[in-house]
Amino acid sequence: MNSEDYFNKINRELSVLQFEIKNRGSLNLRDINIHSEFLFCKLLNMIFGYNLEAKSSSDTKAVAIDLYDDKLKVAVQVTSTPEFDKISKTTDKFISNQLHKEYKKLIILVYARHGHELMGCKSPVGEPTVLAFRAA
């Protein structure tokens, strides 16, 4: 396989994932969202060299973040909700729970059809925080 073949295969599979998440979400079935957190955890680790791990649902930090890298001080919220309100609530919870003192960077990964509209959204936690994934 050449790089174009890999790109097309990855894009196709992510498009299917996006479709499944949207359709299951409309039925209030959110189990695939949890599985996608692990997928994006591995993907971000490979692409950016992070050592992200998943927060357990009982962890108090899980109110604002899904993944974390304690060594690089990076926190990630993975969401399929492409709304500014979601970004705002996440950053508010991140700050109110004092997570900004523990993590230097908060990444909000939006994997939704219109997530690209949120790119460059700023928060009080520093640099632009939104990384949007949109399958073609």
Res. 61: pLDDT tops 80: no
Q: What is the pLDDT of residues 76-89, one digit of tens each?
A: 998 888 778 888 88
**Does this model's pTM top 0.85?**
no
Distance, CA of 58 to CA of 128 (rounded, Å): 28
Distance, CA of 90 to CA of 101 (rounded, Å): 15
Q: Which is more confident, 113 or 56?
A: 56
Considering the chain, what is the average pLDDT of its residues?
79
